[in-house]
Structure 1
Amino acid sequence: MSVGVLAHLFGSLPYRELAAKIGNAGFSHIQLALWKAVSDVDFTKAGRLSPGLVMGMAEEFRKHGVTVSVLGCYLHFFHRDPVVLRENKERFKELIRYAHLFGAPMVAAETGTHPNGAYHELDWIILRETVKELAEEAEKWGVFIGLEAANGHLVGTARELNELLIRVPSSHIGVVLDPGNLLHEGNIDRQDEVIREAFDLLGSHIIACHAKDRKRTEDGRVITVAPGLGDMNYPLYMRLLQQYKPEVHMIMEQASEQEMAACKRFIEETRAEAVKLEV
C-alpha cells in the first residue's frame, strides 16, 4: 500500500508547477480533482479535455515520478435542478472517457448534500438513476467508479452505500473507503464498531481508501485533523485494510504541506505494524 495525496492540498496551481511540487514532496501518486488543483485550464464546464492536453498533463506528472491513481470530481449526483444535474453528469462522463489517458483506473465521488440535510425519496430515485447512467458509461471505457460514503451526504453511512451497490449492481462500481467520513459526534465513542461494520459491508468492494483523522474537542465537537493527530483507531483501520485489500492505494487528506511528511510516515509505520500482525 503506497500513500498518495490529494493534489489540491498543494493549492490550485498551473499543472507543471503542481507536478513538480508533488514530486518534490515525495509522493508517487495522487487523487487529482482538476477544477480544484489546476489553475491554468478552466475545467468548470464539460468539454475542455482533449487527448493532447491529458497526455501532456500525465507526462508532466510522470516526469516527477507521480501517477494519477484516482480522478476526483466533487459533483452532486441528485441535484434538484435538472440543468445542473445534467451538467454534472456530463462532467463526470468526460472524466470517465479520459481516465485511461491520465493512467487512472477510477473516477471517484461522494454523492452530494443539500444545505438543510432534508432528503426525500425522490433524491434516492434520482441518485440511483444517475449512478446507473454513469456506470453504463464506465463499463464502455473499462473504468471504475469509486463511490464514497460521507456523513451528512445523501449516502452517509456504510449501510446506505451498501444498499446503493445492491440497487445498482455493476462490476464497474467500487468503494473509496474513508472511516473518517463515517465518524461524528453521535458515534465516535463506538468507532471500532463503525469501522468494522464498514469493512463487513464494503470490504470486498474497496478500490481505494482515504486517510484523515477525527478528533473530539473540549466542547464535544468532532473535527477533522491530519492523519495521526486525532483519535481514530488507525491500527484497526490498517489491520482491516491488510486483511481485506492488501496493497490498496491510500490517499492522504487534510494535512498541510508542513504536516505531510510526518503524516505519511505515521501511516506507513502503522501499516507496517499491521502487516507484521498478519504474518
Structure 2
Amino acid sequence: MSVGILAHNVGPQPFAQLAAKVASYRFNYVQLALSKAITDVDCSLGKLSPGLANAIGEAFDKQGVGIPVLGCYMDLIELDDTKWRHNVDRFKEHLRYARQFGASIVATETGVPVVQDQDRNWRRLRSAVEEMAEEAEKFGIMVGMEVASSHIVGTAGDLAQLIDEVPSSNIGVVMDPCNLMTQDNYERQHEIMQEAFRLLGHRVVSAHSKDIKLDADGKLQTVSSGQGILNYPMFIELLNQYKPLSYVTLENAQEPYTSDARDFVLKQRG
C-alpha cells in the first residue's frame, strides 16, 4: 500500500526542490496544483507546454515520486463571463498536458454560490463540465470531481445528479469523506459515507485523506489524518470494497503532522 500528499502541503518552492522534499517524507506520489506548489516557473493559462510538463514530471520521477493527479481547482459557476471562460480554459489546458506530467486525472471542486439562484448556477456548472468532459475524452484523461459541503455540489447526491446530466465516462470522483461532513450531519458520518460510496463508489478515481474534530467551541473543523474522529476503518473498508489500491492523498498534512499522518494512513490501509 502507498500514500501521497498534496504537493503544496510541504511548502511552495522550485519544482526540483519540491520533488526532493516530497521524497524525503517517503511519499510515492502527489496531487500537484501547479499554481500553489511551484514557485520558479510561470504556470498560468497559456504557459504550459510539453517541454515544461516533461521537465516537472522528470524531476519528480528522478526522486521516485509520481504525479497521478493534477489539481486545478477552479470556480465553475463564476458569474463574470470573462473569468468563467478563463477558469474553464485553464482546466482544459491542464487536461491537454496532463499526460506529459505523468497524470491521468485533473481534479477540481465546483464553486461556492455567490448569488442564490440555483437554476442559473447549475446551468453554468453543467456548461463548464460539458466542455471539460469533451476535452477530457479527446486526451484520455479523467476529470476528478470533488464534493465540498459549501459548494454548489455539496453532497454525494448533487454529484450523482451532475454525472447523470453529463454522462461522460471521463468524469470521475475524488472521494473525500470529510468534505461531506457538516456541523449538522457529522454525527451520522457512517450513514453519510455509506451513501456516498453507494452513489459514487463506482466512479472513484482518487481519494483524499484528512480528519474532522470539534474545536473548543464545539465547531467542526478539519485536521490532519489521525487527529480527529473520522471512522477511518469504515472509510478504508469502503474504498477497498469499491476501488481497491486507489490513490489516497493526504490533505491538511503540514508539519509537524506530515509523518504522523502518513504513518497513520499506511497503517489503516494495512
Which TM-score band (shorter chain)? over 0.9
Q: Tell me the equivalent position of 2:35.
A: 35
Matched residue pairs, number? 270
Deviations along 1:56-111, whole A, 9 cap, x unmatched? Answer: 11111111111101000111111100000101111111100000111101100000
- Give the Å deviation of 1:255: 1.3
The answer on whether the counterparts of 2:113 and 2:121 sit within 8 Å (CA) in structure 1 is no
Letter in 2 for 1:17: Q
1:38-77 aligned at under 5 Å gives the runs 38-43=38-43, 45-77=44-76
Q: How does 1:3-18 map to 2 (within 5 A)?
A: 3-18=3-18
Q: Hey, what's the Cα distance between the residues in 1 that align with 2:207 and 2:191?
A: 18
In the TM superposition, structure 1's runs of 4+ consecutive aligned residues that sit over 3 Å from their partners are: none
Of residues 117, 120, 143 in structure 1, which corresponds to 2:118?
A: 120
Matches within 5 A, 1:31-180: 31-43=31-43, 45-114=44-113, 118-180=116-178
**Structure 1 residues 118 and 262: alpha-carbon distance in aligned structure 2, compared to 1, 3 A threshold:** same
Deviations 1:33-56 (A, max 9, x none): 00000011222x311111111111
CA shift, 1:246, in A, is 0.4
- How big is the shift at 1:262? 1.2
What's the offset of the Cα at 1:9?
0.4
**What is aligned with 1:277?**
none
* Cα shift at 1:131: 0.2
Aligned mates of 1:41, 1:33 — CA distance in 2: 13
Counterpart position of 1:209: 207
Distance 2:259 2:11 in 1: 17
Q: Which residue of 1 is the match for residue 25 of structure 2?
A: 25
Could you state the TM-score of these two structures normalised by the residue count of structure 1?
0.94
Contact residue 139 and residue 172 of structure 1 kept, 8 A: yes
1:14-38: CA deviation from partner (whole Å, max 9, x where unpaired): 1111111011111110000000000
**How far apart are residue 119 of structure 1 and its match?**
4.5
Specify the code of the residue in structure 2 equivalent to 1:253.
E
Deviation at 1:217, TM superposition (A): 2.2
Partner Cα distance (1:122, 1:198) in 2: 26
Q: Distance in 2 between matches of 1:119 and 1:230?
A: 35
2:254 matched to which residue of 1?
256
Deviations 1:216-266 (A, max 9, x none): 223221000000100111110011111111000001000123211111111
Looking at structure 2, the residues matched to 204 and 173 of structure 1 have their Cα atoms a distance apart, in angstroms, of 11
- Please state how far the C-alpha of 1:183 moved relative to its aligned partner: 0.5
SS in 2 for 1:48: coil
Deviation at 1:175, TM superposition (A): 0.3
CA RMSD of aligned residues (A): 1.1
Q: For the Cα contact (< 8 Å) 1:185–1:220, is it kept in 2?
A: no
CA pair 119-18 structure 1, distance change in 2 beyond 3 A: farther
The residue number in structure 2 matching 1:191 is 189
Question: Do the aligned partners of 1:147 and 1:175 also contact (CA within 8 Å) in 2?
Answer: yes
What's the % identity of the aligned pairs?
A: 46
> What is the rounded CA distance, in whole Å, between the counterparts of 1:7 and 1:119 in structure 2?
35
Q: Which structure 1 residue ranges, 5 or more long, are not aligned?
A: 273-279
Q: TM-score, normalised by structure 2?
A: 0.98
> Which amino acid is the alignment partner of residue 30 of structure 1?
V
Q: Which ranges of structure 2 fall in alignment gaps of 5 or more residues?
A: none
In structure 2, distance between residues paired with 1:52 and 1:59: 10
**1:237 matched to which residue of 2?**
235
